[in-house]
Copies of this chain bind each other. A is one copy, B any other.
């Protein structure tokens, strides 16, 4: 039996406990062993939960920790501590991966354990592992991702005739969008995710702060009508463009012939262009309790199969990237056109 701990019993952390419980038989088959959640750490009063990270990292039974707290602190301190104890950490925390992923990955390597973050981009979509492993031998020239389910839900509704504020209210009503939706609708969440993807494939660390970022708040009904006339739709994309050494977030016109055109509602889609394999797209639920938790569990299984070893996550030792200005919009339309 492999004992694990879950830090933060929020939506994703609760999901991890649920997936481990409900898919016991499948996990046993995939891992060759059972997973058991021995500790839950939460700052709130939760029966059975611990509050002291030292209890967990000093328990030699614990082989893998799921950091599903979100935010920088105390997630950074706890992750650092766990990795120094040789305990692998699997996370959905894109903010921490963006800010400290390079440092934490080096610590993991030094201590023969792993720092994996499949769930930090694209929720349940297994895109990071595919890029790292199946496409590790490809020259990736381009990534275009619909990476924020809230924005995509709003834009899908706007395409169907609802205006922005109405669509936002609906998303909030359904629990997709936060009360303060800025991180979503201004594109910051997308920027963190495309920064992680671009860093993974480029060998340079792109950071969220460097990225020119335009959200969806200025898109109008008229823009959609115009786009539709031209056989296109409007999507908020995070784009990595190797040729122009640029990473950006902006609304793009997506032609009907592009596979991202059909990625609607809360779904995410990540289009990747390799020099040999050409276009690939990965599609799925980019958020939500169980899909995101499933991605965390897939990382836990990989770590549990490799106890005492470091899995190269492509992040250790990445040098800081310089980043060019976004190329001019020469499309003749209000928005850039996805090529």
Contacts and interface: CB of A to CB of B under 8 A. Distances in A.
Interface residues of A, number: 52
Interface stretch (A53-61, A71-79, A273-281): A273-281
A324 interface: no
Interface in A89-135: 118, 124-126, 129-130, 133-135
Contacts of A257: 264
Interface string A22-50: 11001101110000000000000000000
A294 interface: yes
Contacts of A294: 137-138, 274, 276-277
A335 interface: no
A259 interface: yes
Interface in A245-300: 257, 259, 261-264, 267, 269, 274-285, 288, 290-291, 293-295, 297-298
A85 interface: no
Nearest to A18: B276
Contacts of A291: 276-278
Number of copies of this chain in the oligomer?
Answer: 2
A31 B278 CA distance: 21
A10 interface: no
A241 interface: no
A254 to B, nearest CB: 11
A231 interface: no
Contacts of A284: 277-281
B276 A285 contact: no
B135 A126 contact: yes
A338 interface: no
B278 A124 contact: yes
Contacts of A135: 126, 298
A281 B127 CA distance: 11
22 contacts: A22-B275, A23-B275, A23-B276, A26-B139, A27-B137, A125-B280, A126-B135, A126-B280, A130-B130, A134-B295, A136-B298, A137-B294, A137-B298, A257-B264, A259-B267, A259-B283, A277-B290, A277-B294, A278-B284, A278-B291, A279-B284, A282-B283
